[in-house]
Each structure stands twice: as C-alpha cells, then as structure tokens.
Amino acid sequence: DGGITQSPKYLFRKEGQNVTLSCEQNLNHDAMYWYRQDPGQGLRLIYYSQIVNDFQKGDIAEGYSVSREKKESFPLTVTSAQKNPTAFYLCASSIAQGAYGYTFGSGTRLTVV
C-alpha cells in the first residue's frame, strides 16, 4: 500500500544535540513538507520541497535543516540552534502542481531531556 512513513515515533534529545527525523513516501509525490504542531496551535510550516535537490524555508525554519536527495525521502534535522524543539513533527507529501490534499505521516514526538 502507498503511504508515508515517519520514524521514530518517539525521540528524546539531550541539550546541544542534533537529531534527524526520517520521512519516506512511496506515493510518487513530487512535493514534501515538514510541519511542527504545538498544543493549541495550528501546524506551522518548517520546510518544503517541490522537487528533488530543491527546498524552501517555511515560516519557522530557524534551527532546522533538510535535504532532498531522493524523491522518496525528506529528512529533517533539528539542530542545537533550535531552542524549543519539544513538539510533534509531521511530514506530508502531495502532488506538486494544482490543488490536492496532503497525505500525512503518523508523526514523530520529540522531547528534550
């Protein structure tokens, strides 16, 4: 079955540590997105990519980095520069051109310890 897989489901980070969240899709979608969700707030866009080897900053890109070396994969690195990384991270994919709904992964909950 086609879908989008995020791993791990839970992740714990120590102060000053970089961590990488995985996102893989087999839907043949060109576009992929990373959002952050905090309690009581809407999803906020971190980075997005419309095509391989290209990506754009979203509204809250500071302290995060991404790569898009393969169509299927869009990993997100939370760096030590991100001062408040504890949140629920969601990856999504969609057809790039036109109006289409997103397919979301099941999310990664990151906690700083």
Partner 1 sequence: SQKIEQNSEALNIQEGKTATLTCNYTNYSPAYLQWYRQDPGRGPVFLLLIRENEKEKRKERLKVTFDTTLKQSLFHITASQPADSATYLCALESGGYNKLIFGAGTRLAVHP
CB 3 within 8 A of CB 92: no
CB 95 within 8 A of CB 27: no
Q: Does position 104 bind partner 1 by CB under 8 A?
A: yes
> What is the closest distance, in whole angstroms, from the C-beta atom of residue 42 to partner 1 in the complex?
4
Q: Does position 60 bind partner 1 by CB under 8 A?
A: no
Burial class (CB in 10 A: 0-12, 13-18, 19+), 103: middle
Q: Does position 27 bind partner 1 by CB under 8 A?
A: no
Q: Does position 74 bind partner 1 by CB under 8 A?
A: no
CB 6 within 8 A of CB 22: yes
CA angle (34 as vertex; 30, 66 as ends), nearest 5: 80
Number of residues that bind partner 1 (CB under 8 A): 29
Q: Does position 103 bind partner 1 by CB under 8 A?
A: yes
Q: Does position 41 bind partner 1 by CB under 8 A?
A: yes
Q: Does position 64 bind partner 1 by CB under 8 A?
A: no
**Which residues lie near partner 1 (CB under 8 A)?**
6, 31, 33, 35, 40-45, 48, 50, 90, 92, 94-107, 109
